[in-house]
Amino acid sequence: MMKKFLVLFGLFGFFGLGAQNYHPIYAPRKPVSERYFDTLIVDEYRWLEDISSPETQKWVRQENAMAARYLEAISDMTNAYLAIDRLRNIKYEDDIKKGPYYFNLYYSSLYETPALYFRKNMKAEYEKLLDPKEISDTDKIIIKGFEISKDAKYLAVIFGRNGSDWSEIKVLKLPSGRLLSDHVKGVKYSGVAWEGNGFYYGTYEQKNKFGATLNNKVFYHRLGTGQQEDKLVFRRKNNPLANFEFKTTSDERFFILKEIDEKRGYYNIFYKDNTEEHPVLKPLWYKLKFNVDILDNRGDELLAVSYKKDQYGLGFTFSVRQPTVWKSIIPVDNEAILLDIVPFADRILALYQSNQHPILRVYDYAGNRLYSLRFPPAVSVSGFQGNPNDRKVLFYMQSYTIPTVVYEFDLYTFERKLLRKTSVSFQYKDIEYKELEYPSKDGTMVPMILVYNKKIFLSGKNPLILKAYGGFGVISSPSYDPGIVYFLEKGGIFAFANIRGGGDKGREWAEAGRGKNKQKSFDDFIAAAEYLIQHHYTSPEKLAITGASNGGLVVAVAATQRPELFKAVVPVVAPLDMLRFEKFTVGHFHIDEYGTVKDSASFRRLLQYSPYHNIRKNINYPATLVVTSENDDRVPPFHSYKFVAKLQNRVQQTNPVLLRVYKNAGHYGPDTYLGNIREKADIFGFIYYHLTKH
pLDDT in tens, 64-103: 999 999 999 999 899 999 999 999 877 777 789 999 999 9
Q: What pLDDT is stored for residue 333 in this prediction?
A: 86
Residue 208 resides in a domain: no
pLDDT above 50 for 471? yes
The DSSP H or E segment spanning 112 is none
pLDDT digits (tens, 9 = 90+) for 627-663: 999 999 999 999 999 999 999 999 999 999 999 999 9
Do the beta carbons of residue 332 and residue 312 sit within 8 Å? yes
Residue 135 resides in a domain: no
What is the dihedral sign for C-alpha 667, 668, 673, 677? positive
Please, which pLDDT band fits residue 668 given cuts at 50, 70 and 90?
very high
Quote the pTM value.
0.94
Closest CA to 537 of 546, 545, 527, 529: 529
Residue 382 DSSP one-character state: E
Mean pLDDT to the nearest integer, 441-460? 94
pLDDT digits (tens, 9 = 90+) for 216-225: 999 999 999 9
What angle, 0 to 180 degrees and rounded to 10, lies between the N-to-C axes of helices 482-489 and 80-88? 120
Please, which pLDDT band fits residue 473 given cuts at 50, 70 and 90?
very high
Q: What pLDDT is stored for residue 569 in this prediction?
A: 98
Mean pLDDT to the nearest integer, 44-56? 97
pLDDT above 60 for 16? no
pLDDT digits (tens, 9 = 90+) for 311-324: 567 899 999 999 99
Mean pLDDT to the nearest integer, 356-382? 94
pLDDT above 90 for 21? no
Residue 346 resides in a domain: no
Q: Cis before residue 175, ω within 30 degrees of 0?
A: yes
Q: What pLDDT is stored for residue 309 in this prediction?
A: 57
- Round the average pLDDT of the chain to a whole number and report it: 93
Q: What pLDDT is stored for residue 187 in this prediction?
A: 97
Q: What is the CATH number of the domain that holds 562?
A: 3.40.50.1820
Most confident of 202-206, 312-316, 572-576: 572-576
Do the beta carbons of residue 187 and residue 161 sit within 8 Å? no
Residue that wins the pLDDT comparison between 335 and 170: 170
Residue type, 152: A
Q: Are strands 623-629 and 657-662 parallel, antiparallel or unpaired?
A: parallel
The DSSP H or E segment spanning 92 is none
Choose the weakest-confidence range: 43-57, 198-212, 537-551.
198-212
pLDDT digits (tens, 9 = 90+) for 116-154: 999 998 889 999 999 999 999 999 999 999 999 999 999
Residue 197 resides in a domain: no
Q: What pLDDT is stored for residue 264 in this prediction?
A: 82
Q: What pLDDT is stored for residue 312 in this prediction?
A: 64
What angle, 0 to 180 degrees and rounded to 10, lies between the N-to-C axes of helices 638-648 and 54-78? 80
> For residue 572, how far is the Cα from the chain centroid?
12
Buried b / exposed e across 506-539, counting CB within 10 Å, b at 16+?
bbebbbbbbbeebebbbbbbbbbbbbbbeeebbb
Residue 609 resides in a domain: yes
pLDDT above 50 for 3? no
Strands (E), 83-213: 96-98, 101-106, 115-119, 127-130, 141-148, 154-161, 166-173, 178-188, 193-195, 198-205
Q: What pLDDT is stored for residue 319 in this prediction?
A: 94
Q: Is 215 exposed, middle or buried (0-12, 13-18, 19+ CB in 10 A)?
A: middle
Q: What pLDDT is stored for residue 311 in this prediction?
A: 56
Tell me the backbone φ, ψ of residue 281, rounded to 5 degrees.
Answer: -75, 125
Q: List Cα–Cα distances, 641 to 61, 363, 586, 669, in angstroms.
A: 11, 51, 19, 16
Mean pLDDT to the nearest integer, 594-600? 97
Residue 74 resides in a domain: yes
Q: What pLDDT is stored for residue 314 in this prediction?
A: 83
Please, which pLDDT band fits residue 8 given cuts at 50, 70 and 90?
very low
Residue that wins the pLDDT comparison between 372 and 15: 372
Q: How many CB atoms lie within 10 A of CB 405?
A: 17
Q: Which residues are catalytic?
A: 549, 667
Mean pLDDT to the nearest integer, 393-398? 93
Q: How far apart are CA 319 and CA 534, in angstroms?
A: 57
Please, which pLDDT band fits residue 12 given cuts at 50, 70 and 90?
very low
pLDDT digits (tens, 9 = 90+) for 322-366: 999 999 999 888 888 898 999 999 999 999 998 789 999 999 999
Domain count, the chain: 1
What angle, 0 to 180 degrees and rounded to 10, lies between the N-to-C axes of helices 482-489 and 673-692? 30
Q: What pLDDT is stored for residue 310 in this prediction?
A: 53
Residue 215 resides in a domain: no
Choose the weakest-confidence range: 166-175, 206-215, 437-446, 566-575.
206-215
User: Which range marks the domain in which residue 609 is found?
Assistant: 35-78+426-692
Q: What pLDDT is stored for residue 262 in this prediction?
A: 81
Return all residues near 137 (Cβ < 8 A) that are at least 6 apart. none
Q: What pLDDT is stored for residue 20 in this prediction?
A: 59
Residue 220 resides in a domain: no
CA angle 296/302/303 to nearest 5° reads 65
Mean pLDDT to the nearest integer, 55-60? 98
pLDDT above 60 for 381? yes
Q: What pLDDT is stored for residue 693 in this prediction?
A: 86
DSSP per residue over 409-475, as a string?
Answer: EETTT--EEEEE----SS-GGGEEEEEEEEE-TTS-EEEEEEEEETTS---S---EEEE----TT--
Please report, rounded to a whole number, the percentage of residues in the chain having pLDDT higher than 90: 83
